[in-house]
Every structure is written in structure tokens, then in C-alpha cells.
Chains A and B, each alone.
Chain A
Amino acid sequence: MSAHRLAPPSAILRHAVLLITGALILIPFVWMVSLSIKPPGEIFRASFSFWPEQFYGIENYTKALTNSPLPRYMLNGVIVCAMILALQIIVCAPAAYALAKLDFPGRNLLFAMVLIALILPHEVLSLPLFVLGYQVGILNTYAALIFPYVVSPFGIFLFRQFFKTIPDDVIHAARLDGLSELAIVWRIMVPMALPAIIAFGIFSIVSHWNSLFWPLIAVRDQSLMPPPLGIMVFKNGEAGNDYGPLMAASTLVVAPLIIAFLSAQRWFVEGLTGGAVK
């Protein structure tokens, strides 16, 4: 590449363009944080300044945390994401192992089902899933938020791809050592596929932490709402035009993932792009 390293003027241009596009990308974040520390008076007195004349952050964030059950929303988000992820791994890892390493009648059918399910937009199936939840009698519970997602076609697919790269000899050795097939999944395959598990974990957590559509259908009680639904209710309710606390709440909802992302960028990129990026 040495012959094509950019000459200084184009290097400067590169930085200039990327800094501008980067700044444009960041504006919503910056504006959100900026409004979250401004008093109402300053918000409505249109101004360009990022930093408030009167720091009102404490009031806004206190209001966000006390006027709405925001901590409860966040807790719900954590519970739901954790449960979904745990169940997904429990269901998907053994199936992926069977698909990758075992020969059984119906294997191709199962894999075809995984591939088809992979492209089905889950939201579109919400009506039958809602009916199913109603029949089982679990609507408006944590279970309602969780059950549509306990099997993840993407998880099966990703794990299968990874398991396939593990040499058969490892499994043969494990069988000779007397491990059961289930033990092979949990004590050999999953630990060896840890990168794939982490990538999938990030994908799962980010999707479900951010998800609005299904929670909107599945629960009515505020005490069960995950963050996006909670914040929407907060906005539609008393906070309506009280931008300061609303932005504070938004910031708090977005912050955990952003912080996690900035501290583990590579893993996030890998997880959220479907392992297509190595």
C-alpha cells in the first residue's frame, strides 16, 4: 500500500469529512444530553449552546428517576434480557450441536426451518403470538415478554457455523472419555465457542433492550414495562412537554448500551453484524 498512502492534503480532507459526518451523527446524542441538563427556561429560549447557563442536571435526572418508575423499567429490561438470553442459549446450543455434528433424520429439514425462520420478521407474527399468549394466560407478565424469543434462529445458525469449525476429533475424544452428548455440548462445545456465544449475547441483549413493538402488545402494567415502552409512556404522560426530565430519562435508557459499546467495541461490532465481521 505504501505507494498509495494518502498525500497530506487528502489525509486532511479525510479527517475533515469524517469529523463532519461524525459530528452530524452525534448531534442527536449531544442535543439529548444538552437538554437533559438545562432548566425549562433555557430549553424554550432557543439557543445553540451545549452547556447550560444554569446547570439543572440534578433536578432533571432526579425528576426522571422519581416521576416515573424508570429504575423499575431498567430492572425489567435487565430481567427480561437476561431471561431471554439464558433460555436462547439453553435451547439453541444443543440444537446447533446436533445440526453441526450429528447425523439424524430430519436434520436438513430442521436446518431449512432455521434458515426460513431467520428471514421471517417476528413482529409480523405478533397477532398469532398474542392469541397464543392469551390462550396460555400469560399476557401481561414477564413470561409474555419472553416467550416469543426463547428460540433464536440466528442463535442456532451462528452456533452451528462455529461448532462446525471445531474438529470432530475433539468430540470423539470426549465420547471416549465417557461424556454424554449433552455434556459434550455444555462442557466442550460451548466453552470452545465462547466468542460466538458472546457475540450472540450482545446481539440478543441489544435487540431486546431496544425493543418496543412486542412489549407494547404483551404488557399493560407499568411495573412490567421494559425501558423503551416505559419511556414512551413517560413521554405520552405527564412529561409530555417537560423536555428536561424526558431527555434525562432517554439518556439513562441509552447510556448502559453506549457505555458497554465503547468499552467493548470489537465485540459489539461482531455481535451486531451477525458475525459477518471478524
Chain B
Amino acid sequence: MLAAGSLAGPAFLLLIVLFFLPVFAVFAIALTDWQFGASSLSFVGLANFREVFADESFRASLVNTIVYVAIVVPGTIVLGLAIALLIESGKSFRAFYRAIHFLPYMATLTAMAIAWEALLHPTIGLVNQTLAGLDLPTANWLRDENTVLPVLAVIGIWQNLGFAMVLFLAGLKSIPQDLYDAADIDGADVWLDRLRTVTLPMLGPVTMFVFIVVALKAFETFDTVQVLTQGGPGHASEMLLYTLYRESFEYLRTGYGASVAAVFLLIVVALTLIQARVLDKKVHYQ
């Protein structure tokens, strides 16, 4: 038992210091008037939260984040699934297509954001050039408050759909051939019937996993906001993690930052509970 203690001990202590005490500290700071560097503090209850929720920029940030997640998650799942189905429906060039679509997921997003900025440049960007060439309206994508959030969402989908695709491919591969044979015999032998009788239901657990991972990742979007928009124009592309960063480390509003972090944590916990309690039962067929 001594052995177990010495083996697991370091990890145990580090988990406490680097994960659990910080969670505790986030809530502690959020409930006090402590400022970074100050030597004293007092309990202020929910005052910080009141301030945060009264702040227009935080409300914008929360709404933007939810809208962003609501675009990125379904977009990523639908496109990832469609591409996975297409790849799996034939035998040739599978590895090639998989590699191409997976590439953005592992490319340094900060650097790729810079490339996206060039693409979206109002005058010399490829996007506007193409649109102009087709006589379609152009826009200053990253400086227009109507387009900036959808554009960031497109980048989010672009980055994550490879991840979804790869997981769906693995899910497709693990569907027993017997089930397709049974569907054939039972008469579900056209594409749509097979999809509905076997493929989609069998992908339920994978879809749940992709949903949670991509949703968490979308909530934590930071790099593109920091590099491309800094939350602007106005507050049109403020998102939670960016707000957290700016308030905590640029404006040094410690209590405010901690409150944002606390809200963030609650969202994540809620999301995970939803997964564990409700949806899990419906997609694992036990």
C-alpha cells in the first residue's frame, strides 16, 4: 500500500494543486473583493456576479458564445458525418481524403487564423475576389458585426470537422456487417433505409461523444478571437474565454474575471451532466 501511495501520490497532489484548488479558488475569488496583489479581502457575496451580469459586454459575450456553439456543433457534426459516410461508401483514396479533411484539426490555429485573415481581407482576400468575380456582394467579414461571428463559426467548423469525421469513420467501421445483412434480408436494402435502420442509430454513442467534445471545444474558443477580432467590432465577437482573459489579465479585474470563470465552469458542468444523465441512456442501447 506504501507502494501504491508513492506511485499515485505525486499525481494525486498535482491534481489537487493544479485542478481542484484552482476550481475552489475561482469561486472563492469570485465571492470576495480580492484584487491581484492585495493583502486583504472580504466576502462580498454575489456582488461580482451582479456586476458581471449587468455588464453589457459580458452579456454579449455569453450570447455570442452560445450562438457560436449553436452553429459550430451541428455544423461540425453534420459535415463530419456526411464526409465520413462519403469516404466510407467507397474503397479508393480513403486515407487520402481522411488526411486532407483532418489537416486543420492539428494545424496551429494561431497561424491558420493569420491565413484566414488574408483570405478574408476586404480588398485583396480570395473570398471577396471570388465573390466580386461572380458579381456577388462582398463584405468586410471580420469588421462587420453581422458577419464576424458566423465567419468565426465557419473557421471553427473548418477546424473541427476532421475530428468528427475521424470518429464517425471509426464508428462506421465498428458496425457489424451482420446488421447490414439482416437489413438486406429484412428488405431495408435501399440507401436511405439502411441509413435509418442501421447506420444512424448505431452511430448514436459516437455522435454523443463528438457532441460533447466539440461543444466543450467551441465554448473554449480563444485563438481566433484573439488573433482576428479582439472581440470586435463593438462586442460582436466577444466570447467567454476571451472576456475572461481580457478582464483578468489585461484589465486586471480579478473579481470580474473569476466570476466569468465561475459561470464558465457551471456551463461545463451542466453540459456534462446533461450528457451523463439524459442523453447517455438514449444512445447506449442497454
A residues near B (Cβ < 8 Å) are 1, 3-6, 10-11, 14-15, 17-18, 21-22, 25-29, 31-32, 35, 43-44, 46-48, 91-92, 94-95, 97-99, 102-107, 110, 113-114, 116-117, 119-132, 147-148, 150-151, 153, 156, 180-182, 185, 206, 209-210, 212-213, 216-217, 227-229, 231-232, 235, 243, 246-247, 249-251, 253-254, 257-258, 261-262, 265, 268-269, 272-274, 276-278
Contacts and interface: CB of A to CB of B under 8 A. Distances in A.
B14 A31 contact: no
Chain A contact residues, majority secondary structure:
helix
Given A28-B158, A153-B15, 17 more contacts: A4-B180, A28-B104, A31-B119, A32-B115, A48-B129, A95-B7, A99-B8, A120-B265, A126-B249, A212-B109, A213-B223, A216-B226, A227-B110, A258-B103, A261-B99, A265-B95, A272-B106
A14 B158 CA distance: 20
B58 interface: no
B103 A1 contact: no
Contacts of B272: 119
A231 B12 contact: no
A264 to B, nearest CB: 11
Contacts of A18: 83, 86-87, 93, 97
Interface residues of B, number: 93
A18 to B, nearest CB: 5
B163 A273 contact: yes
A251 B118 CA distance: 13
Nearest to B162: A25
B14 A48 contact: no
A212 B110 contact: yes
B111 A254 contact: yes
B112 A212 contact: no
